[in-house]
Amino acid sequence: MDPQNGSDKVRIDKWLWAARFFKTRSLAAQAVNGGKVHLNGQRVKAARLLGAGDRLTVHKGGYEFVLTVRQVASRRLSAPLAAGLYEEEPASLARRQELIEQRRLARQVAPQPPAGRPGKRDRRLIKKFIRKSDE
């Protein structure tokens, strides 16, 4: 039961905002209405009521969160308290960690752009290279 408003159900967009999945309720509502959030395996609207024990699947930023709602809240909580509102499935957490690791390794292998503008020596080498290709 939610101590803030005395009910045991709350709108799904409000809960996602309170649990800190989205920065604003508007962004949470857009995600729900855009099909990025599923409640118990079904696509829902932002006004759908959510209760303890419900299962949520949230797609955000290329990651998938599979959660079980432990408590409902209608007010935004601090991060440690917000983390207590839900429990993420271990398989979901493992998939997300693996994807993060893959992206980190891909970033290391990708070529890096130059640090900044070319210095005096670099400009001389560039001019020398360009003059050779003109001849």
In SS3 terms, 46-83 reads as: CCCEEECCCEEEEEECCEEEEEEECCCCCCCCCHHHHH
Query: Which residues form the domain of 2?
Result: 1-94
In a domain, 13, yes or no: yes
Mean pLDDT, all residues of the chain: 90
pTM as predicted: 0.75
Tokens of 128: 């020398």
CATH of the domain at 80: 3.10.290.10
71-106 in b/e form (b: 16+ CB < 10 A) is bbbbeebeeeebeebbeeeeebeeebeeeeeeeeee
pLDDT of amino acid 113: 79
In a domain, 115, yes or no: no
Q: Looking at the 3D structure of the chain, how many domains does it have?
A: 1
In a domain, 12, yes or no: yes
Whether 26 shows a pLDDT value over 90: the answer reads yes
